Structure 1
Amino acid sequence: MRKLLNTLYVMNEEAYAALDGENVVIRAKETELGRIPLHQLEGIILFSYVGASPALMGKCAREGIDLVFCTPRGRFLARTCAEIRGNVLLRRMQYRLADEPLQSARIARCFIFGKLANARRVLDRTRRDHAIRIDEKKFQLAMDQLRGRMEQVMQETSLDALRGMEGAAATIYFGLFDDMILRNKETFYFHGRNRRPPLDRVNALLSFVYTLLGNDCTSALESVGLDPYVGFLHRDRPGRTSLAQDLLEELRPCMADRFVLTLINDRIVSPKDFELQENGAVLLKTEGRKKVLAEWQEKKKGKITHPFLKEKMEWGLVPYAQALLLARYLRDDLDGYPPFLWK
């Protein structure tokens, strides 16, 4: 299993990353801001338009260190890629199955089943932990509806029907998201999912954290030799890591949504961490992003017992475990892909 090392997040919008021996050096306007040995890192994420040196990009590609470029506001731009790793037979099988609607649906329904099961678990945790602060009957009804759709999903063979079921389930789940926000309700409210740009503070947090988790899913798939751009639920689109988006679906509720709720309910973020723009967009300020990133790193260090592998691991390794299980399924070592079911 891959060792979870540190990810270096570079927040300075004027920062430039360069290579000096075996170190990454961060500079801004000729001033050295920091120097870190590369062997201590598993990834570098730059929130800057200035960029990185070709030498550093080449070194990261050779050493398997993710180098990701995002806008200062957190929108993904690009990532460095090394030579394609893994068995070519594995990727050929991935491509063949992705071209067969029935086989794609068989895998896609596992991703959706995992998403619905984990969404139901998030609702259940809130219902149990904060029963006196929420409408228990409303939560129980939503949980029962999600359970019913979980049973339907595993019988479905149409990709379009699966997408419709996923959308209907998401409406049920997000219909209670605002009820799970227990503090600062006047400034942290959720009236529906919106993005590009996010129009409230909760959606700004969700979009930023989904980007972080999406990068982890892409790295995980590449590490086992799968092509993150060829998905089963999400179809091909230029520039979209469709398979990473597939994997992201089942992990959103337990890794991202629950994390965002903790940030708000534990008052880790506050209204002053956000910038409200004239066009209605709401974006995280630099200090707000730093808070989220620091907590995200701590979240990934937390321990969990993997429900299928029965092994203790850090939360940050869950995407890698799922990528490995997907590869084993495609190699015919498993009868089916086991989604991550949070307990």
Structure 2
Amino acid sequence: MKHLLNTLYILSEDIYLSLDGENVVANRDKQVVARYPLHTLQNIITFSYAGASPALMGVCAQRQIGLSFCTPRGKFLARVCGEGNGNVLLRRTQYRTGDDPTQCCQISRTMIFGKLFNARWSIERTRRDHGLRVDGEKLVSASKQIYGLLSQVKEVSAPEELRGLEGVGASAYFSVFDEMILGDKETFSFQGRSRRPPLDAVNAMLSFAYSLLAHDCASALESVGLDSYVGFLHRDRPGRTSLALDLMEELRPCMADRFVLTLINNRQVKAGDFQYMESGAVLLADGGRKTFLKHWQEKKKETLTHPYLEEKLPWGMIPYTQALLLARYLRGDLDAYPPFLWK
């Protein structure tokens, strides 16, 4: 089983990464400011425009250390990929499956089933833990609506119909997301999902969490030999890791959304952690990103029992185990892909 190692986040915009022996070196104005041993790292995500040396990119690709480049605001730019991992037969099977609408729908509906299941469980968990502080009727109504969609998702045979059911479920879920926010409503009021740019503090954190989760899913898929750019639910688009977006659908409610709710409800983030732009966009400030990433790393180290494998694993390993299960299904070792059903 793959081990969960550290992720190195480079937040300063003027840091240039290079390689020195067995170390990643952070440089500013040609001066070394920090060193990090390569053998302790699983991923490197840099939010700096300065970039990285070809030597470092080469060794990361060779050792399967994920290296991703993002803008200082968190927009994904590129990933470094080496030679394809795994055998060619797995990827040929993936590509053939991606060209078959029936098989695409079969895999996609299990992932959407997992997403709706986990979204409903997130609502139910709030009802269970904070029943006296929330509008129980709203939460019950949304939970019942999502529950009713689960049986429909199982029977779907057309991708367009599946996307429609997913949209209905997402609408019901986000309609009560504000109810699950228990503290500082003035700063963390949520009126609906907004992207490119996020228009409030909650959406700023959701977008940042989704970017991090997408990176982890892409790295996990590549590590088991799959092509993260060829998806089944999200169709091919140049530069988009469509399969990573597929895989993260079922993980959004439990790994990203719930994490954001925990930061807010435990008062680990505050109004000063955000930048409010004249355009109306709301972005995480430098201090806010540091706080966010600190707790993100801590969350990834917490353990849970995987519902399908029945093994104790760190949260950070869940994208990898799901990628592994997907690869086993495509190889024919499993009759169906088992989605991650949070309990």
Q: Distance in 1 between matches of 2:189 and 2:248?
A: 24
- SS of residue paired to 2:77: strand
Match of 1:146 in 2: 146
- Tell me the amino acid that sits aligned with residue 9 of structure 1: Y
What amino acid is aligned across from residue 108 of structure 1 in structure 2? S
Alignment of 1:168-187 (within 5 A): 168-187=168-187
Secondary structure, counterpart of 1:132 in structure 2: coil
- Structure 1-normalised TM-score? 0.99
What residue is the counterpart of 2:8 in the other structure? 8
Over residues 76-133 of structure 1, what are the superposed CA-to-partner deviations in whole Å (9 max), with x where a residue is unaligned?
Answer: 1111001001111111111111111111000000010000000001000000000001
1:129 aligns with 2:115: no
Q: Which residue of 1 aligns with 2:95?
A: 95
Cα shift at 1:224: 0.6
The aligned amino acid for 2:251 is L
Structure 2 equivalent of residue 304 of structure 1: 304
The reply to whether residue 32 of structure 1 matches residue 25 of structure 2 is no
Look up the match of 1:72. Answer: 72
Instruction: Give SS of 1:295's match.
Output: helix
What amino acid sits opposite 1:73 in the alignment? R
Equivalents in 1 of 2:93, 2:36: separation in Å?
Answer: 39
The Cα of 1:30 is off from its aligned counterpart by 2.5
Q: Distance in 1 between matches of 2:142 and 2:273?
A: 32
Match of 2:255, SS state, is helix
Partner SS state of residue 155, structure 2: coil
Separation in 2, partners of 1:332, 1:30: 52
In the TM superposition, 1:1-343 aligns within 5 A as 1-343=1-343
Shift of 1:6: 0.4
- 2:239 is matched by which residue type in structure 1? G
Q: CA deviation at 1:28?
A: 1.0
Unaligned runs of 5+ residues in structure 2 are: none
Cα drift, residue 215 of structure 1: 0.3
| Residues in 2 aligned to 1:171 and 1:241: alpha-carbon distance in whole angstroms | 24
CA distance in 2, matches of 1:109, 1:46: 34
Distance (Å, rounded) in 2 between the aligned partners of 1:32 and 1:202: 36
Q: Distance in 2 between matches of 1:174 and 1:91?
A: 36
The residue matched to 1:17 in structure 2 has which SS?
strand
Q: Flag as ranges the 4+ runs of structure 1 deviating above 6 A.
A: none
Deviation at 1:31, TM superposition (A): 2.7
SS class of match (1:106): helix
Q: Measure the CA separation in 1 of the matches of 2:141 and 2:198.
A: 29
> Shift of the alpha carbon at 1:307?
0.2
- Once residues 30 and 261 of structure 1 are traced to their aligned partners in structure 2, the CA distance between those partners, rounded to angstroms, is 40
SS in 2 for 1:133: coil
Of the structure 1 ranges 255-264 and 25-34, higher mean CA displacement relative to structure 2 is found in 25-34
| 2:132 aligned counterpart, secondary structure | helix
AA in 2 matched with 1:293: L
Matched residues, number: 343
Root-mean-square deviation (Å): 0.6
Corresponding letter in the other structure for 1:136: G
1:144 is displaced (CA, Å) by 1.2
Deviation at 1:332, TM superposition (A): 0.8
CA distance, structure 1, for counterparts of residue 182 and residue 300 of structure 2:
24
| Amino acid paired to 1:142 | A
Q: What amino acid does structure 1 have at the position aligned with 2:285?
A: K
Distance (Å, rounded) in 1 between the aligned partners of 2:294 and 2:33: 18
Determine the C-alpha separation between the residues in 1 that align with 2:257 and 2:33. Answer: 33
- Please list the CA deviations of residues 41-80 of structure 1 after superposition, one character each: whole Å capped at 9, or x if unmatched: 1111111000001110011111111111010111111110
TM-score normalised by L of structure 2: 0.99
CA distance in 1, matches of 2:63, 2:87: 18
